Amino acid sequence: MNMRMSDLVAKYIMEMLDEQNGCAEIQRNELAGNLGCVPSQINYVITSRFTPEQGYIVESRRGGGGYIRISRVKMDGGTALMHIVNSIGEGLDKATAEAMLNNMLQRQLLSLQTAKAIAAALSDRTLRRVEQDKRDSVRADLFKNMLLTLNS
C-alpha cells in the first residue's frame, strides 16, 4: 500500500514524539530532505494534524538554526475527548474525521473496535442518502454525539 506523503510525514513525527517522551524538535528543511518532500508539506502536516484541538502545542523559531518544537499535551481521556468535541465545529469531512480517529487511537482514547464502528457510521456510504451539501454537518453532529456518549 502506498502511503501518501502527508501520512508518511505525520507517522515520522509521531514516532519522534514517542521516542522523545512526547516532545520533538524538528528542523523543517532537514526533515523535508530526509523524507524527500518540500518544506511546505511539513508545514501542512503540522498545521493540520498537530493542532491544540488534537492535543499538541507547536512552537517555532525562525532564523539560521530555526526549528519547530511539537509537544504532546498531557491530559486525561475525558478532557482530551472534550477538546476534540469542541474542535469539530459545524462541519466535518470524511478525511478529517479519519485523521481525528487515528489520532485518538494513537493516544489510546478509543479501542480499535470503537474507532472502526465510528468510522463506519461516519462514512460516505452510510451517509449516502443525506444530500451532499448536508453530509459534513450531519457527520459532525454524529461524531460529537458519539464522543459525548463515550465520555459520559
In this prediction the pTM is: 0.58
Cα 92 from Cα 101, distance rounded (Å): 12
Instruction: Give me the architecture of the 77-151 domain, per CATH.
Output: Orthogonal Bundle (1.10)
Q: Compute the mean pLDDT over every residue in the chain, rounded to the nearest whole number.
A: 86
**How do residues 5-56 score in pLDDT, each as one tens digit?**
888 898 899 899 989 888 999 988 889 999 999 888 888 888 888 887 677 8
CATH code at 5-72: 3.30.56.130
The domains of the chain are located at 5-72, 77-151
